[in-house]
Structure 1
């Protein structure tokens, strides 16, 4: 059914390699990539050590998970903002401020936050998370724009000398395609390689690599191969 629907035939190495030619050059079979026996180590730690000083994070997550995992806050772009920051609902001169002193107290039956709600220290209006929502024309993108400028500056240094750029994209869907579009645009402009890790939507432009696996498994296997 999958083959008749136009999906690649992964029965045997040749079928897999026809769908993903770069893996043939690396000598990786589908079984190699899908084998859970290799993933006992901590891939987050391994990748953190490997790319220290030489990588950036571009994420649509708004939960600050990368910072809490130990990634350099100055090397992260949160394209949809972050829940750890607040902005005024009246767009006064408050700007964007940390939400350090507000801990929501939510009524479990109504799922509504109990008072007091956070208020602007400048004008007294309610504040809201500095997150880009659907149909949101009031989002303050100042913080995200500053992050993007730092990323752009870093990208300008990549490709010089022995530096080569690889974009590893994990779990970015097409429903809100910001991350996917950014990945593809970046590799096109920089003559870089895109490795797209996505269980349901691993499709990539010609010449790039799509991995239909979970991020933990895929990153663990890539790490193992690089260390082999």
Structure 2
């Protein structure tokens, strides 16, 4: 893909610069804009990302999040996961989640495609959400496919049933999330949406995990615009039309205000 496009970069102290206005112009003039979010959108909710300075994989071996590890060591996996659920379940949507939900209600963002499993987009009020990596809000029996709300699974674990088992068939329950080594969920649906979109707003993703990171590439290849909001440079900065390099909450609050202002002037 050619890299001869024009882009703008702003640092954390320039969140109110012309880049927000440029991004707002793209969104207001788009016919079908989507959002693509990663772990960085939820760090302001107290959920650590995976690869940052305080990231999960700097504290734990990523092998624990593989399907092979789960199948071989389900008890150890669930003890680790139970600890992580304590953080995930107490997290609340932050300004970035709320701004995206508002943009969806306004008809600016049609769908949110997320790599996150925390359910904070739905908690913020978003309705059209594709969870590529599943959700930690439920578990599924590997034997019969029956699903359980995660609060019921937590009760099993806290009562000493580790790993938690299916009430119906006795099979081992697994979080309804995509572990390393498993296929992402609803990717074909996400791909089709990206190919019909003329703008994508990326928020809080390093764009380093595939196939999920193909989503903005699909939009770009069809001639669409790419906006990236992230604290750090991403692996796909070279395709961006606008880059807003600051906190997701700050950037999204300003972007929402800019969009509202432009719509009021139409």
TM-score by length of 1: 0.61
1:84 is matched with which residue? 137
Query: Is the alpha carbon distance of 1:198 and 1:178 closer, same or farther for their aligned partners in structure 2, counting shifts above 3 Å?
Result: farther
Q: Give me the whole-angstrom Cα distance separating, in 1, the residues matched to 2:15 and 2:122.
A: 34
Is 2:175 the counterpart of 1:129?
Answer: yes
RCO higher in 1 or 2 (8 Å CA, sep ≥ 6)? 2
User: What TM-score results when the alignment is normalised by the length of structure 2?
Assistant: 0.53
Give the total of aligned pairs: 175
**CA RMSD, Structure 1 to Structure 2 (Å):** 3.6
CA shift for structure 1 position 95: 2.1
> Could you list the runs of 5+ residues in structure 2 that have no partner in the other structure?
1-5, 19-94
Cα deviations by residue, 1:114-136 (Å, 9 ceiling, x for unpaired) = 423532244202212011223x4
What residue is the counterpart of 2:16 in the other structure? 32
Would you say the 8 A contact 1:63–1:82 is kept in 2? yes
Change (3 A) 1:19 1:56: closer
Structure 1 unpaired stretches of 5+: 1-17, 24-28, 35-39, 107-111, 159-163
2:92 is the counterpart of 1:47: no
2:55 matched residue in structure 1: none
Between structures 1 and 2, the one with greater helix share: 2
- The answer to whether residue 244 in structure 2 is matched with residue 211 in structure 1 is yes
SS at match of 1:102: helix
Cα distance 1:79–1:43, how it changes in 2: closer, same or farther (>3 A)?
closer
Assess if the C-alpha contact under 8 Å between 1:59 and 1:78 holds in 2: yes
Greater C-alpha Rg: 1
Indicate whether 1:171 and 2:171 are aligned.
Answer: no
